[in-house]
Structure 1
Amino acid sequence: MRRIVGKAAALATVLTTALATHLVVPPSASAAAQLVGNGTFATSTAPWAAIGQSAVTAESGRMRVDVKSVVANPWDAMVAAPTTAALNPGKSYTLSFDASSSVAFKARTTVQYVATPGSNQSLAADVQLTSASKRYSIPFTATAAAGTAAEVTFQLGGSGGTPVVRFDNVSLMETQTTRPTALYVSSQSNPAKWVAAHQGTSEAQAIGANIANKPIFEWFGGWFGDITLAVDTYVGAAQAQDRLPMLVAYNIPNRDACAGHSGGGAGDATGYHNWITEFARAIGNRHAVVVLEPDAVAAAGCVANIGKNPEDQYRMLLDATEVLRAQAPNAWVYLDAGNATWIKAADMAPSLVKSGIANTRGFSLNVSNYITTADTEAYAIALNGHLSGTVGAKMYVIDTSRNGNGLYTDPTPGDNWCNPPGRKLGASPATQTSGAEYLFWVKVPGDSDGPCGLGERDQIQAGTFSPMLAMALINGTP
């Protein structure tokens, strides 16, 4: 609990009077307003104030907080800033920030009402700080109070020492009351970043007009060292625009067991549970779409080739669906079901059931593949026919990113999935009134499947963006 003495009490009185006078409970959020002033500390730390045994300065675009003496309680050395608007009782919020400390210890952060800070905290969470900067993303619900003027605090006492703690990118936003209908277009997608770096070229103009300006999924896996930072940054950017973020969770152990070009993933079931938990918590109570582990259900049989048990794969997916349902309750999760030519619907349905389809909104189809939407719809209907007797028919989505010309066929069908020639962009991402709930671009058009097909000549590794591959999809030619 926060305790205030001396100058801190005077500061609290000023904040209470000012905020109670000028702030009223705002309308519910649509495009989420940023409720923390100066969370990036570009030139100063204002309006953040040091309280108790703490000193605050701006340092290289971060807020540096020095704990000046050893104190017993967390609130004896803290920093606080008023929110830019009052809280909405009963509404969901997310507090996010980067933090590191010269000494590892457990700090406390709160979002609390200024009038009664010690006894009326909507959020009071302990966070383990280390010398490495880490992203923290914490969802909470605003409680009721007579006065809803609020403040964010970082309470740094009680460590047994005098740590130096640094903060950056502090954000507080309310979750949208209604689910966004527009899909998020990220300026940080692979094609968007390539276009930005090659302005003025004909390829950049074509890729910008046909691919980079579309809502495309962002893929998340072990290549992000701080998964909370990666997910929170992406979801927060979408939320700020009142857009729906679209994420692929792609980190299951023995990933891409059949083909191998996108191999890797978490080391074991425990590592994957920890990763998917952090992934889900970073989404928190915010709205999102998640495609869960492309190919993992369909490829479970292939893990036997490397001495693994397919049943373990199903169990890990079941656990992932349970984690996402609990930790990201507003995310629409689609468990991937492969494609229409891979596993018969009668065989796929029980595998989906074992993998937790009941915990999700539905299933995804044709991710990174080329099968026509019509053929994929027929497969979805057949699959739902088999699911209806167990978990019930489910919603589904279809990846149309590369299916404009349908499947590629040649005398070696085993590798026709890998950067084949003559493929074309499919229908643009959109909601549907019948059939698939969404047509999505889950695969990033222009990202390689591996050093094969059109990517063989230049050895374009899986996940690497290639303007050559992008232009081939735009033109529908080799």
Structure 2
Amino acid sequence: MYGSYTGCTGYTGLRSAGAAAVLCAALLLTGCSGDSGPAVVGQQPEAKDPYWVNPDGTAARQVATYEKGGDQEKADLIRKIAEQPAGEWIGPDDPEGEARRVTEAATKADRYALLVLYNIPYRDCGQFSKGGAPDGNAYRAWVDGVAQGIGDRRATVILEPDALLHLVDGCTPQEHHDERYALIESAVERLKQQPATQVYVDAGNAGWQSPEALQEPLRRAGIERADGFSLNVSNFRTTDVSTEFGRKLSAKVGDKPFVIDTSRNGNGPYEGGDPAETWCNPPGRALGEPPTTTTGDDLVDAYLWIKRPGESDGDCKGGPKAGAWWPEYALGLARAAK
């Protein structure tokens, strides 16, 4: 129920209770999707959203394809996605190079980079996005590579979607628990050595576990040293529900702030069909609030598009493989957006 590596198009893992979407950074930075070339997209006003918009992302390339074919209506719809900053998911093979390329591009545009790290050993409980680093030493070396690639440039890191929740819900075998806590804690410590890096440890979503169940895992994972936690990654819980949940959890972990993934939560979660697959390409969903750091709530640092809208959750409901760009679904999200 998650996702799998799909080469140039990326690797995405979406869990029924809120999971990770992984997109190969090489696709975003080299344009290997084979489309006709990126449309020109600019940056959002810095005061509203200081995060970098990738001008060569899959959505931008889809805009270019529609415009070249004379379909301006669809181009305008996909532009709603292409013009917003979204998370850059760092792949397993060249963490230093990918982090450097993204952060250098963001710095050149005078913006923050938004990075997502999703490479913990025994990732995703052996399901669609199974894999991750082969062992703890490899993971620490990978995180060190990311940190070196970031350098002193401005970056916000979303750390290991689902990793803690899979300990809480029993999905990850007990023999891996102590190591995972130690690895996430060490990742927080290493990344915070970079002078301009923010780190948010993932805490799932409001429909997965209770704040009471999460407070001790977050403490063991180093939330005290982190800048905060992230909620709703790749999920559909509304912003209001996520905010209420986040405030309750924050009160249990030292009043830490949090960020919310609003990429696809405009119509809230899907309640129909097979309850075990409400997470997978649910119909009738919509883009949520555009990314911004102006949230009106002192505890909510930002609304972010951590999941890239328009990528399939998996081969369910007519979708392609997890992680593949699915323009029809992207169009639906954009059309339904308020």
Equivalent in the alignment of 1:416: 278
Provide TM-score, normalisation by structure 2.
0.80
Alignment partners' CA distance in 2, 1:265 and 1:204: 36
Aligned: 1:374 with 2:240 = yes
Whether the 8 Å contact between 1:218 and 1:247 is mirrored in structure 2 is: yes
Match of 1:433 among 296, 299, 305: 296
Alignment partners' CA distance in 2, 1:267 and 1:412: 34
Alignment partners' CA distance in 2, 1:207 and 1:292: 31
Deviations along 1:224-282, one digit per CA (max 9) or x if unpaired, are x3222211111101101111111111111122227x22222111111111001101111
- Residue 302 of structure 1 and its aligned partner are, at CA, apart by 5.9
Say if 1:181 and 1:449 are closer, same or farther in 2 by CA, change over 3 A: closer
Higher strand share: 1
- The letter of the residue matching 2:212 is A
Say if 1:313 and 1:348 are closer, same or farther in 2 by CA, change over 3 A: same
Alignment partners' CA distance in 1, 2:174 and 2:321: 26
Task: Report SS of the residue matched to 2:289.
Answer: coil
Match of 2:325 among 465, 475, 478: 465
Equivalent in the alignment of 1:352: 218
Equivalent in the alignment of 2:95: 227
- If asked which structure has higher relative contact order (CA below 8 Å, sep 6+), I would say 2
- Residue 180 of structure 1 and its aligned partner are, at CA, apart by 11
RMSD: 2.2
Say if 1:422 and 1:239 are closer, same or farther in 2 by CA, change over 3 A: same
Alignment partners' CA distance in 1, 2:243 and 2:186: 28
- Structure 2: gaps spanning 5 or more residues: 1-45
Please list, as runs of the form range in 1=range in 2, the aligned pairs for 1:28-47 lying within 5 A after superposition.
none
- Residue 410 of structure 1 and its aligned partner are, at CA, apart by 2.2
Alignment partners' CA distance in 2, 1:264 and 1:203: 40
Equivalent in the alignment of 2:122: 254
- The letter of the residue matching 2:323 is G
- Residue 421 of structure 1 and its aligned partner are, at CA, apart by 0.7
Aligned: 1:446 with 2:310 = yes
Equivalent in the alignment of 2:80: 210
Say if 1:276 and 1:180 are closer, same or farther in 2 by CA, change over 3 A: farther
Whether the 8 Å contact between 1:427 and 1:439 is mirrored in structure 2 is: yes
- The letter of the residue matching 1:257 is C
Equivalent in the alignment of 2:195: 329
Say if 1:292 and 1:403 are closer, same or farther in 2 by CA, change over 3 A: same
When Rg is computed on C-alpha atoms for both structures, the one with the higher figure is: 1
Higher helix share: 2
- The letter of the residue matching 2:87 is F
Alignment partners' CA distance in 1, 2:107 and 2:47: 10
Identity over aligned pairs, percent? 38
Match of 2:148 among 273, 281, 303: 281
Equivalent in the alignment of 1:240: 108
- Residue 367 of structure 1 and its aligned partner are, at CA, apart by 0.5
- Residue 358 of structure 1 and its aligned partner are, at CA, apart by 1.2
Match of 1:361 among 227, 240, 254: 227
- Structure 1 outlier segments of 4+, above 4 Å: 178-181, 301-308
Provide TM-score, normalisation by structure 1.
0.57
